[in-house]
Structure 1
Amino acid sequence: MGKVCLHLRIGLTMCGIAGIIQSDRQPVQQTELQNMIETLNHRGPDASGVSPLGSVGFAHSRLSIVDLTGGLQPMQSPDGMLTVTFNGEIYNHIELRALLSSKGYQFRTHSDTEVILHMYAEYGPECVQQFNGQWAFAIHDQKQQLVFLSRDRMGIRPLVYTQTPGRFLFASEVKALFALPDVERKVDLAAMNQLFTFWSPLPPRTFFEGVSELPPAHSMIVKNGQIKIWQYWNLDYSPNEEHRSLDDWAEELRALLINATQLRLRADVSVGAYLSGGLDSSVTAAIIRNFTNAPLNTFSVNFNDKDYDESQFQQEMIRELGTDHQTVCCSYEDIGRIFPQVIQHTEKPVLRTAPAPMYLLSRLVKENQFKVVMTGEGADEVLGGYDIFKETKIRRFWSRQPDSKIRPLLLKRLYPYMKNLQAQSPAYLKAFFKIREDEINSPFFSHLPRWDLTAKLKTFFSDDVKQELVNQDPLTDFSDQLPEHFSKWPSFCQAQYLESINLMPGYILSSQGDRMAMGNSIEGRFPFLDYRVVEFAARIPVRYKMNGLNEKFLLKYAMRDLIPDSIRKRPKQPYRAPDAHSFIDTDKQKARFEYVERLLSPEKLKESGLFQPTAVQRLVKKIEQGRAIGTRDNMALVGILSTQLLVEQMIQGQPAPQENKRTESAALQT
């Protein structure tokens, strides 16, 4: 397969969207639309527009990639009967444009936004089945007197909504909803309970009571004050009977990934690529270098703390590919300093600081005059890369002989980068990864150790919160959302599914992905999440996803000529960042920043009413004194602090203070 030339005149945009639908037929006020969209300026600083259309009004902030005038939104069809506000990209819009032209449609712009309008005119709500891309959009259909909203299959682009008396409101982010005085600001304790179990609330819940998110792969119609929501696509891991060779599977995966990457390079602006030093970002960068004529500019984050630093592997790929590379170096102080801004963008608590360096990384991309960046997210979920999949395999193997003294020793093969865990005795490992008889057949077998550990953070909840949640069970909530055939899938695929519909859209693509990139007006693109790749990967035999304990086996095999052995065969190390040390200086035994001390004070904790002040003070003191802290203590501190920040910023309406300019040492160029 040769290189693809990418000098195409097309219109793709990353944006912020918002809208108001008055069920009482009162006209929408333009000032309200403006107030909403101004809060989303970071998502689209290049242009903005509002369209009050009687009882329906749309707003749009635009990060323009090309076609600066032709792609302005909200956009109307030629007859004025359809209006759209759209965040995302439809990568196959050139092919869809040809299809529509053959049916007699005429185009005034080069924008994929116009393709969406005509596709809806031709196919109605089913048009999304033909889209290859990432999107959140709303279409006002004046003839049908309805508004159609949709969100992409994997949940890359956000879409939240709420209802107040007489109207329906939607936006890319919650802050746009809170720009209106009739939207109540209150923590959803059930969502908080879910987040402190699964790392994110289960859709449609958000962290805010009364505010919902449209789940991934769902569409919605709002008409006459009524809402209809349905799922238009789903992941299916049903066992297949395909008898294909390893080479056959590898060849198809390779072709799909190359094409998915080429599609995502459709732009008239330069496209950068993240390069972490791991397999996934190395694959996307290698495809750009070898199968397109696009210039390759790569970006990475390094850490002063060598426990988290992967610069050695980054440098190897830089030399291999000959990239023009830029690096941002991240210290404890950098993470703690920008954390309030990070949480203002996540709009939900986080349990690790990992989003913060991603925020600095996207800023580096922006400072280098890029608007678009390619990233390797999704490969672990889709192709079987996470350590939790190894853990599940070992625990299943162990469960067949629960009294074995040898089988649990395989647990030592897990998490080589976690020194505390590696130092534990076999007895501790057996206790931590315990297998209870009643859990062997649980649909959540793979994730119970992780969720049990996270749920221990709820011991810090205040008595009032615990009382409020006494009859709520997050596992039951999740169980109710599982598909009908889940129990018939291989256990490995069950674990993949749980990651793909929960942690990936709720945390990886949201708190760590869209919100951090768009916080700096940067658009992320994800070749591994092309729906064709995802559907193909669901059919791959488990033995080719994980061969023994060799994760992402098929990907490594398919790309063996593009990726050096040192990268391909290196032990899996997930992206992590320093947690508690970013906020508390153990040498000085005090908080590094005023906001940390203030928000974790007994007074502020009592004011929010969510956590026990005494328990939190004990935790802080323990960390200050440098006593051995593990994952639980780190997650507790980050989770409590981020929740307190959210209450102050989003509930009490006190925006994060402007960040002080980072020090010269924060940015290094390689």
Structure 2
Amino acid sequence: MCGIAGLVDSLGRPLPPEAMESLQAMTASMAHRGPDGCGHWRDGPAALGHRRLSIIDLSTGAQPMEDAHGRLAVTFNGEIYNYREIRAALEALGHAFRTCSDTEVILAGWLQWGPRCLERFEGMFAFALWDRRERTLFCARDRFGKKPFFYTLQNGLFAFASESSALRRVPGLRLDVEAATLARFLAYEYVPSPESIYRQVKKLPPSHWLELREGRVTLGRYWSLPAPEPARASEAELGRELERLMAQAVKRRMISDVPLGVFLSGGIDSSLVAALMAGQAPRIKTFSIGFREASYDESAYARSVARMWDTEHHEHILSAEDCAGLLPEIVTRFDEPMADPSIAPTYLLSKVTRQEVTVALGGDGADELFAGYEHFQGFQAARLYNALPRPVRRFVVDPACAALPASDGYVNLRLGAATFLHGARQAPWLRVQDWLTALHPELQRQLWRDPAPLGLDAPQLFASTRRTFDRSSASADLDRLFHAYCRQYLLDYILVKVDRCTMMHSLEARAPFLDRDVAEFACRLPTHMKLRGLSRKYLLKKALAHLLPEEIRTRNKRGFLIPVARWLRDKLKPLVEELLGEDHLRRQGLFDPKTVRGLVHEHDSGRRDRRKELWTLLVLQLWLAHNKPDVS
């Protein structure tokens, strides 16, 4: 896990001397991604930079790295878990190696197979490879986008980095923000790929490569999620195969020359990873966060798993209220705005974990691949709702939902019911995104001072969701939804949160559920093997139940519990008054103060829970105040 950056003159002209100063500034801005070393390399029109977090081959794996013949140079972020097998195959073909690193395997793999080397790599990665002979730059990103890659091409200069904020260190690059992009952020709570927060910057999509040749940028896909297939084995046989694949995925991710452990939340996914890891190594280290407030604390579940597998368990107990004070600092450190309040406990968990280990495995990806979210059940329930006669919906179901009690807690029945009904009335491609949306189009039309040019109708605002949904090779709407979750929500929300929070503490996070073999197995499963009635992650739970304590097997999914609704009324109230207050909004000129004041009043009075809307607005204002981009 590292930070990479680079500059290339797309027309092949030598870079000016000051380009190296810019490159050094770019890598310096990402020192948290690689505190163990820094390297820079230059050849005529190309310059590559690297910040190193040493994981494999601690003594000889420095980057940027050249091949033995001096034709290629690469800067690489991530891990190739099967690099030893690939190395053996390359040695059999006559390649010799000077190091024990996975980086050198990328160089030899490219020389042997060209872009098709990506088909062989199992791992998480983003890399850029300069070919001296061909005068081309080849870049690639892993299958799920675990590792970030931002790029821009302006005035003949191609620049890339692991964080978009590093690009701001290059003089002459224009990086401004469109109001339409901010509108999409307010809807999604993140900026959907391949767009970035900056108008001129793109994200390389997962499972894609990029080639810069003679001033032109070309993109290509090297892997796609497979579609569901009819079951070709019994349920018991599928269960045994899943356990084998998961054990293999965990073993692959235990390759390390530094200490490693497990994020253990006490949920099913991280508990399974811990169990499988404990079965392959003596006394593993597990890490969890607990809260003093009983209503938010789930540390007892993590302790139960730790006892079952006799792990060296590390538990950090804090007050949920303490997280509120950290949120502004963390939000401003993100290179793009993200409105997930659980970044605070994720940040803290990463901090305490880094004190003991350099690598941590986790359960990310299981919910998307094996149907772990309640939204999938909601999608099915919406079909039943829409099948009811209209009078029953209008005069029975809708009034009953409106009469449910409201709450500031994790579960707000009235808000949940209202959210369900709003989404249930949408087209299948939009339904779940509607449930996830912070500020819907109808509210944004009131919010923006000049909404006309922003494209606030649903097809435009959520065009990314429609494209992702339609690109699925599956035929059933529910299977298309699974695909969209993997290619949008997992990519731009879950993985970005984990990458940024862990990297702030120079900690590498690995996700066994995102192993290619596991993912392809999960995607090919028929729907009833993942979602059966009210049972989510059906096969995963049934096949691996013997690895879990009873209380873990039967509990419902819950994320980090954060009392945002209450914080907005007390702990964060000064920030709300400052950044969402009338004076600031009038000076800024983006949003209608009266509409924002109405949202705040509704929330403060308890008339309506506006936690999602207000928190997302507050995150945006924090990020804008810290980064001060031009907005047009």
Aligned residues: 622
The offset of 1:184, in angstroms, is: 2.2
* Separation (CA, whole Å) in 1 of partners of 2:385 and 2:620: 38
Pick the aligned partner of 1:602 from 562, 567, 582: 582
The offset of 1:628, in angstroms, is: 5.2
Q: In terms of mean alpha carbon deviation, does 138-147 or 193-202 score higher?
A: 193-202
Pick the aligned partner of 2:262 from 273, 285, 290: 273
Give ranges in structure 1 of 5+ residues lacking alignment: 1-13, 654-670
The offset of 1:36, in angstroms, is: 0.7
Q: Could you give the per-residue CA deviations for residues 326-366 of structure 1, whole angstroms, max 9, x where no partner exists? A: 22334354323222332234322223311121011101112
Contact 1:352-1:635 within 8 A present in 2 as well: no
Tell me the secondary structure at the aligned position of residue 111 of structure 2. helix
Counterpart in the other structure of 2:550: 565
- The alignment's C-alpha RMSD in Å is 2.9
Q: Could you give the per-residue CA deviations for residues 604-624 of structure 1, whole angstroms, max 9, x where no partner exists? A: 33343332233333434554x
Cα gap change, 1:428 to 1:57, in 2 (>3 Å): closer
Contact 1:349-1:642 within 8 A present in 2 as well: yes
* Separation (CA, whole Å) in 2 of partners of 1:308 and 1:626: 24
Counterpart in the other structure of 1:366: 354
The offset of 1:303, in angstroms, is: 2.9
Letter in 2 for 1:591: K
Cα gap change, 1:128 to 1:248, in 2 (>3 Å): same
Contact 1:198-1:454 within 8 A present in 2 as well: no
Letter in 2 for 1:503: Y
Tell me the secondary structure at the aligned position of residue 36 of structure 1. helix
* Separation (CA, whole Å) in 2 of partners of 1:495 and 1:261: 27
Aligned pairs for 1:516-535 (under 5 A) are: 516-535=501-520
Find out whether 1:262 has 2:251 as its counterpart. Answer: yes
Q: Could you give the per-residue CA deviations for residues 257-277 of structure 1, whole angstroms, max 9, x where no partner exists? A: 000000000012221111111
Pick the aligned partner of 2:493 from 503, 507, 517: 507
Counterpart in the other structure of 2:80: 90
Counterpart in the other structure of 1:230: 220
Counterpart in the other structure of 2:450: 464
Find out whether 1:616 has 2:616 as its counterpart. Answer: no
Tell me the secondary structure at the aligned position of residue 57 of structure 1. strand
* Separation (CA, whole Å) in 2 of partners of 1:404 and 1:463: 38
Counterpart in the other structure of 1:647: 624
Pick the aligned partner of 2:326 from 338, 341, 348: 338
Contact 2:386-2:425 within 8 A present in 1 as well: yes
TM superposition score normalised by structure 2: 0.91
Counterpart in the other structure of 1:392: 379
Counterpart in the other structure of 1:3: none
Tell me the secondary structure at the aligned position of residue 463 of structure 2. helix
Counterpart in the other structure of 1:7: none
Q: In terms of mean alpha carbon deviation, does 402-411 or 203-212 score higher?
A: 402-411
* Separation (CA, whole Å) in 2 of partners of 1:427 and 1:153: 36
Q: Could you give the per-residue CA deviations for residues 510-561 of structure 1, whole angstroms, max 9, x where no partner exists? A: 0x21011101111000000001111110111211111211111111111121
Find out whether 1:103 has 2:93 as its counterpart. Answer: yes
Cα gap change, 1:505 to 1:115, in 2 (>3 Å): same
Find out whether 1:164 has 2:146 as its counterpart. Answer: no
Counterpart in the other structure of 2:479: 493
The offset of 1:165, in angstroms, is: 1.0
Counterpart in the other structure of 2:186: 196
Q: In terms of mean alpha carbon deviation, does 403-412 or 333-342 score higher?
A: 403-412
Counterpart in the other structure of 1:666: none
Q: In terms of mean alpha carbon deviation, does 293-302 or 225-234 score higher?
A: 293-302
* Separation (CA, whole Å) in 1 of partners of 2:553 and 2:129: 45
Letter in 2 for 1:627: G
Contact 1:352-1:579 within 8 A present in 2 as well: no
The offset of 1:159, in angstroms, is: 0.2
Letter in 2 for 1:274: F
Pick the aligned partner of 2:466 from 466, 479, 486: 479
Cα gap change, 1:185 to 1:610, in 2 (>3 Å): farther
Aligned pairs for 1:285-304 (under 5 A) are: 285-290=274-279, 292-304=280-292
* Separation (CA, whole Å) in 2 of partners of 1:608 and 1:212: 26
TM superposition score normalised by structure 1: 0.86
Find out whether 1:179 has 2:187 as its counterpart. Answer: no
Cα gap change, 1:234 to 1:299, in 2 (>3 Å): same
Pick the aligned partner of 1:27 from 15, 19, 23: 15
Give ranges in structure 2 of 5+ residues lacking alignment: none
Cα gap change, 1:415 to 1:94, in 2 (>3 Å): farther
Cα gap change, 1:202 to 1:568, in 2 (>3 Å): same
Counterpart in the other structure of 1:661: none
Counterpart in the other structure of 1:245: 234
* Separation (CA, whole Å) in 2 of partners of 1:456 and 1:305: 37
Q: In terms of mean alpha carbon deviation, does 419-428 or 495-504 score higher?
A: 419-428
Q: Could you give the per-residue CA deviations for residues 462-500 of structure 1, whole angstroms, max 9, x where no partner exists? A: 3125544457812334324545565x5223212211111
Contact 1:345-1:516 within 8 A present in 2 as well: no
* Separation (CA, whole Å) in 2 of partners of 1:425 and 1:167: 49
Tell me the secondary structure at the aligned position of residue 473 of structure 1. helix
Identity of aligned residues (%): 32
* Separation (CA, whole Å) in 1 of partners of 2:256 and 2:282: 10
* Separation (CA, whole Å) in 2 of partners of 1:340 and 1:54: 42
Q: Could you give the per-residue CA deviations for residues 301-344 of structure 1, whole angstroms, max 9, x where no partner exists? A: 22344443212212221222222222233435432322233223
